[in-house]
Structure 1
Amino acid sequence: MPKEARPPRIQDVAQLAGVSVATVSRVLSNPDIVSETTRATVRDAIAKTGYTINFTARNLRQQQVGSVLALVPNLANPFFSQILGGIAEVLRRQGLSLLVLDTHGATEQPDLEAIAPYLSRSRSDGVILLEGGLDPALFARPGCPPLVQACEWTDALDAPRVLVDNAAGGRLAAQHLAGLGHRDILHLSGPAQNSLSRSRRDGFAEALAGLGLSGQVLQGDFSMQSGFAAAASVLAMSPRPTGIFCDSDEMAVGLIHGLIAAGLRVPQDISVMGFDDIQLAAYIQPPLTTIRQHRAPLGRQAAEVLLARMQGKPYEDTTMLPVELCARASTAAPPPGR
């Protein structure tokens, strides 16, 4: 009976590439510290030998589960898709799986107790928290894996943060509307205690004050439904605002629908802008002016910080990513005489 060929080993890759086993390992686990020429040589040798990493064995050696948990406040919100995609992209390179848990509505003790078992090293090697409203005591329990806060945050948690510059986004929104000539301006904010809402509100109010303006505030909850409901309040205002900044694109879409259903024109009668630049923003009528945050890079950065924390490597306590104004057709100069 012919002898069964053994599977290719990392030593075979190193020999064919003419490098050390340690270099092959670095190409597989931390390629950025290896030159592009060496990376290409090693990857060519991997392809020729057919070598594959035994992630199960590696995880056992490193006492890892092989997965990272992301806690998301509402999976139905399309905002989170690109963030999760960015996280998964980085984890995949490390042979780690992404587990996602929807925390929507988890404010009562029974719901929190249902989340707690997942916050264990027996279930995940690390946690990326995209929800800023959970009880910090959840993460203070013995055995909780390393944690990174991303997108939303809470000051009560001692964990690194990967955020976008929400205050700068609020300032850009105020400057855009004021620059078009709007003076009666409304801010349709998210929930009052939400970290994103607070930062965007502060930046928006600061920029308006710097321009000698003040604005009204109406509270929503980031959802399309709350934007639609806000249209009735806007219609009842006197004087009616000519420009509205919404804390999320979903609220802006709902608001526009409500205003148009009532017979107003956007932007001829009233300008509306959002925050996030979800995919829908470019395809509604009129296309939505918004503050764009780069969500896939945010997810990638959150995963990189978590990996550094898991591996005992240096990391920044706070990483702040920039935002930018994306001007489209839902904003214009106010009506004549306003």
Structure 2
Amino acid sequence: MRPRISDVARVAGVSTATVSRALSQPELVSEETRALVLQAVEKTGYRLNLAARNLRQNRTGGVLALVPNLANPFFAQILSGIAEVLGPAGYNLLVADTRITDPDTLLEYAEPSRADGLIVLDGGLPAEALRRVPVVMACEWVPALQAPRVKIDNRAAARQAIAHLMALGHRRIGHVRGPRGNVLAEARLAGTREALEEQGLCLDAASLYPGDFSLASGREAALIWLRQDPGLRPTGVFLASDEMACGFMGEVQRQGIAVPGDVSVIGFDDIELIAHISPPLTTIRQPRAEIGRLAARRLLRSLEGGEAACEDELLPVELVLRASTAVPPRA
């Protein structure tokens, strides 16, 4: 006979209500209890009857993640963390790339008939399109939308990056920004300015380079930096994403510039690639998988009728020191 939830409860030594909570709202039970339930599920071969549950609860069984660029490796761990939580709770993770998806199609995806909830990773979406189902925002956020946010303090993280360069002795410090209007890019730029101003320095126009988080824009910033007077250009450069940092380093090294001998470079995110380039990149590490897990748990609470508080949940970052930063030349 098909295993039932009561069979899982018997094997795990808990109540059926505890099994239900462990599978649908894992944050409400202890890690030890959840492990017992998952072991019992595997042992009994129990499977949620998702079709029956969704029909009974008038749900689709799907959660949609809206991602601004699926080609960006930054999002892989976040999506993995989301799926890690949603799967055991019986929800399918659907993903749409907002950069290439038609806006009208996105509106259709955000309907209750297509998805039970949204996890939004794109801060450039219109708020009015995201109010039809429960929403949680992760990493980026839509300022006009009142919904829970799981993110880092980007301004403080940028200040940490600048503090590292200054501790090494750099006083001419440049910044490659993200796209104009992007909430992450603006916060990181603000943190950069604040950290410099506190030390009596400023980020002038010649030391602020355009960017859009891509490899190509990092390379373009490097070309601008290379054309500047070697005695005046920044000896340390903080880039608002690791991809841009890789593009910047690759181009200056092709032109005979040593990293970090001639210029120190620090990125942001800690994507997997950067520990394996030469030199390995110093960066600000975001807890990307944990961001995904917490966003999914917040959404599950809302879907199960729990409290949908709109306060921010801030996660800590870490400065990861590698070989791309050092004391400035002739310091």
Normalising by the residue count of structure 1, what TM-score does the alignment of the two structures yield? Answer: 0.90
Any idea what SS the aligned residue of 2:87 has?
Answer: helix
Query: Equivalent of 2:265, from 266, 272, 278?
Result: 272
Any idea what SS the aligned residue of 2:313 has?
Answer: strand
Partner residue in 2 for 1:211: 199
Matches within 5 A, 1:82-161: 82-104=77-99, 111-140=102-131, 144-161=132-149
Q: Unaligned 5+ residue runs, structure 2?
A: none
Change beyond 3 A, Cα 1:59–1:181: same
Query: Equivalent of 2:47, from 29, 52, 55?
Result: 52
Does 2:329 match 1:335? yes
Residues 188-243 of structure 1 deviation map (CA, whole Å, 9 limit, x = unaligned)? 01012110011111111111111222223111000000001111110122311100
Does 2:255 match 1:262? yes
Q: Is the CA contact (8 Å cut-off) linking 1:273 and 1:289 kept in structure 2?
A: yes
For 1:94 and 1:335, locate their aligned partners in 2 and report how far apart those are by CA, in whole Å: 55
Any idea what SS the aligned residue of 1:304 has?
Answer: helix
For 1:189 and 1:38, locate their aligned partners in 2 and report how far apart those are by CA, in whole Å: 45
Query: Equivalent of 1:312, from 305, 310, 316?
Result: 305
For 1:50 and 1:33, locate their aligned partners in 2 and report how far apart those are by CA, in whole Å: 23
For 1:318 and 1:206, locate their aligned partners in 2 and report how far apart those are by CA, in whole Å: 22
Does 2:165 match 1:177? yes
Any idea what SS the aligned residue of 2:250 has?
Answer: helix
Partner residue in 2 for 1:195: 183
Superposed CA RMSD in Å reads: 2.1
Code of the aligned partner of 2:285 = R
Larger Rg: 1
Q: Is the CA contact (8 Å cut-off) linking 1:305 and 1:316 kept in structure 2?
A: no
Task: Give the drift of 1:12.
Answer: 4.0
Q: Is the CA contact (8 Å cut-off) linking 1:168 and 1:323 kept in structure 2?
A: no
Change beyond 3 A, Cα 1:43–1:127: closer
For 1:334 and 1:194, locate their aligned partners in 2 and report how far apart those are by CA, in whole Å: 31
Q: Is the CA contact (8 Å cut-off) linking 2:161 and 2:319 kept in structure 1?
A: yes
Change beyond 3 A, Cα 1:38–1:221: closer
For 2:283 and 2:40, locate their aligned partners in 1 and report how far apart those are by CA, in whole Å: 47
Code of the aligned partner of 2:268 = F
Change beyond 3 A, Cα 1:38–1:133: closer
Q: Is the CA contact (8 Å cut-off) linking 1:182 and 1:243 kept in structure 2?
A: yes
Change beyond 3 A, Cα 1:8–1:327: closer
| Greater mean deviation of Cα atoms: 17-26 or 257-266 | 17-26
Query: Equivalent of 1:10, from 5, 11, 14?
Result: 5
Partner residue in 1 for 2:237: 244
Code of the aligned partner of 1:101 = A
Normalising by the residue count of structure 2, what TM-score does the alignment of the two structures yield? Answer: 0.92
Task: Give the drift of 1:305.
Answer: 1.0
Task: Give the drift of 1:105.
Answer: 5.3
Does 2:218 match 1:230? no
Q: Is the CA contact (8 Å cut-off) linking 2:25 and 2:297 kept in structure 1?
A: no
Change beyond 3 A, Cα 1:318–1:268: same
For 1:237 and 1:75, locate their aligned partners in 2 and report how far apart those are by CA, in whole Å: 34
Change beyond 3 A, Cα 1:45–1:160: closer
